Amino acid sequence: MTEVASVLYGREDIRRRVEALGRTITGDYVGREPVLVTVLRGGVMFLADLARAIDLPLETHFMAISRYGQAEESQGRVQILLDMDTDLAGRDVIFVEDIVDTGLTSRYLLRVLRARTPASLEVCTLLDKSARRIAPLAPRYVGFDCPDRFVIGYGLDFAERYRNLPDILQVNDLAALRADPHVLTPLLLAPAAA
């Protein structure tokens, strides 16, 4: 395929998976009030839909980080730019991620969260790019086991663009996108069908 990007998971597939995850989490946390924590900005779309698919009282909280260069170089060490203002001690925390790739960022943030002594701490990721894992990390809840391709849409960006694509696309020609980050703008104007 010569297209720069093509649909990997359409909006209907995403909707169905997110609803299934919500049902599973609802069943697993009956009688409890989970705290969903996500990282700005990629996890926002997923968290918004997931939270509405969970039929329990819950809280949503956000953190913002900045990376020191590539995750691999920095061993996933990040600077926390925005922290949540809630005490996690004794709470049932679900760390919600858009994608776990090398796992280094999640591993670092999980250490930070674990130090706050929650009663439980689980990971829920929409995409698991397990082929690229460096830090051993097996998320409890996974939307899709994602192939080793760069993906955009539904929160995931390239250079801060394309988060608002309703589908998740795999980039087939990363060189073309790097050369012109706007090359996929037509997809935003007339999004690909599910």
Residues that bind ligand IMP (CB under 6 A): 42, 71, 76, 97-106, 150-152, 156
Q: Which is nearer to ligand IMP, 49 or 101 (CB)?
A: 101
Shortest distance (Å) from residue 105 CB to ligand IMP: 3
Element (H, E) at 44: helix 44-53
Q: Which is nearer to ligand IMP, 76 or 143 (CB)?
A: 76
* Residues catalogued as catalytic: 101
Shortest distance (Å) from residue 123 CB to ligand IMP: 11
Closest CA to 56 of 107, 106, 22, 18: 22
Residue 47's binding partner among Mg ion, ligand IMP, none (Cβ under 5 to 8 angstroms by kind) is none
Q: Which of 34, 42, 76, 139 binds Mg ion (CB under 5 A)?
A: 42
* Radius of gyration over every alpha carbon of the chain, rounded to an integer in angstroms: 17
Residue 62's binding partner among Mg ion, ligand IMP, none (Cβ under 5 to 8 angstroms by kind) is none
Is the CA virtual torsion 57, 29, 145, 13 positive or negative?
Answer: negative
What is the rounded CA–CA span in Å between residue 61 and residue 182? Answer: 32
Q: What is the largest CA-CA distance in the chain?
A: 52
What is the rounded CA–CA span in Å between residue 64 and residue 6? Answer: 29
Q: Which is nearer to ligand IMP, 42 or 143 (CB)?
A: 42
Shortest distance (Å) from residue 105 CB to Mg ion: 7
